[in-house]
């Protein structure tokens, strides 16, 4: 495994992150095997959100921590808040909502602190002063050690940074070999083609400029939760290239797909959503090798992209 230094705590956390959005059907004994497998592979970073499974994902981790208190010191735990799910999804970065959400998160997780808290999706009605007040309270009470955002563009982060005094440690963004709008716009600046349409406004570059960790979510999916791209006819060339490189490096397609994400410079993590211990072991191999520059571009092109 490879590690990055995260946030003000300089926590040494794994480049491969176990995303826990889909664990709500697991039993606690199954989850225990899953977490032990992650830790034995060197994966010590775990990602949650208050809305995952309507709170059940966090509650399951809480049950596991109650059963196995030894795990808390080994697990770096991140969660997210800022989305209401009552009736329809809408966003809330008010001080009151952030503070109440963290208290509920900690109660479900049966722990006294989060290693990292992300604001889940941008709230157009955000008042940065209110977020700053909430973060100060969470920091001084020791409830949250580091802070960040998710799915935010540079202007949204800059607006927050006008008031928030804690550094934004991470931005969690969708990225996979089959989902690259943030990269496409960078290759096609000032070009009259659709790939040049600005969708992220230089978000990745902004993160690198400000030492913000890029956490790639849905790192094996295409579209918006359309499924993993492995075996999908539309991505035949991509899969063929990934399989070829998997053979070369003696790993599985999972490891190559994640190595492609981790080849992006700066501090980059791949958040994976498997619930299977055997796939965790495959994913951890992504850190055993580094794709060449040419291989990285071959994968990008095999996904159906063009370069100028």
Non-local (6+) Cβ contacts of 272 within 8 A are 16, 17, 18, 19, 219, 220, 258, 279, 280, 283
CB of 58 vs ligand NAP, minimal distance in Å: 11
Number of residues binding to ligand NAP, judged by CB under 6 A: 23
47 binds ligand NAP (CB under 6 A): yes
Nearer to ligand NAP, 147 or 217 (CB): 217
CB of 79 vs ligand NAP, minimal distance in Å: 10
95 binds ligand NAP (CB under 6 A): no
Q: Which stretch binds ligand NAP (CB under 6 A): 30-38, 182-190, 201-209, 213-221?
A: 213-221
* DSSP H helix total and E strand total for the chain: 11, 12
User: Which residue in the set 187, 230, 264, 296 belongs to the binding site for ligand NAP (CB under 6 A)?
Assistant: 230
Q: Which stretch binds ligand NAP (CB under 6 A): 67-75, 123-131, 157-165, 216-224?
A: 216-224
DSSP string, 169-218: EEEEEE-BTTB-HHHHHHHTTT-SSGGGS-SSSSHHHHHHHTTPEEEEES
DSSP string, 222-250: -TTT--B-TT-GGGHHHHHHHHHHHHHHT
- Note if 206 is an active site residue: no
Put residue 87 in one of left, alpha, beta given phi > 0 → left and psi -120 to 50 → alpha.
left
Q: How far apart are the first and last CA of the chain?
A: 35
CB of 120 vs ligand NAP, minimal distance in Å: 6
24 binds ligand NAP (CB under 6 A): no
* Active-site annotation holder among 3, 52, 222, 300: 52
Q: What is the CA radius of gyration of the chain?
A: 19
20 binds ligand NAP (CB under 6 A): yes
Binding site for ligand NAP (CB under 6 A): 19-22, 47, 150-151, 172, 217-221, 228, 230, 254, 271-276, 279
Catalytic residues: 52
């Amino acid at each position: 495994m490879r590690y990055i230094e995260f946030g003000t705590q300089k926590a040494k956390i794994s480049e491969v992150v176990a995303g826990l959005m889909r664990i709500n059907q697991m039993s606690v004994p199954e989850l225990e095997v899953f977490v032990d497998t992650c830790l034995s592979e060197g994966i010590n970073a775990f990602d949650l959100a208050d809305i995952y499974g309507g709170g059940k994902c966090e509650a399951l981790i809480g049950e596991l921590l109650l059963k196995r208190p030894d795990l808390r010191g080994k697990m770096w735990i991140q969660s997210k808040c800022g989305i209401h799910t009552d009736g329809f999804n809408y966003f809330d970065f008010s001080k009151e909502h952030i503070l109440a959400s963290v208290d509920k998160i900690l109660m479900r997780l049966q722990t006294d602190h989060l290693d990292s808290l992300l604001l889940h999706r941008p709230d157009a009605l955000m008042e940065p002063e209110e977020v700053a007040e909430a973060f100060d309270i969470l920091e001084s009470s020791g409830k949250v050690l580091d802070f960040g955002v998710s799915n935010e563009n540079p202007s949204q982060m800059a607006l927050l940074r006008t008031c928030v005094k804690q550094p934004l440690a991470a931005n969690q963004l969708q990225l996979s070999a089959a989902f690259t709008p943030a990269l496409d716009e960078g290759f096609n600046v000032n070009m009259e083609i659709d790939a040049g349409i600005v969708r992220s406004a230089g978000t990745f570059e902004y993160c690198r400029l400000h030492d913000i960790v890029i956490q790639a979510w849905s790192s094996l999916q295409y579209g918006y939760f359309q499924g993993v791209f492995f075996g999908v006819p539309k991505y035949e060339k991509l899969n063929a290239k990934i399989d070829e490189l998997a053979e070369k490096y003696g790993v599985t397609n999972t490891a190559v797909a994640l190595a492609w994400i981790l080849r992006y410079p700066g501090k980059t993590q791949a958040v994976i959503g498997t619930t299977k211990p055997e796939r965790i072991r495959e994913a951890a191999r992504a850190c055993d090798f580094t794709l060449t520059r040419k291989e990285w571009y071959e994968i990008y092109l095999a996904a159906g992209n063009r370069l100028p």
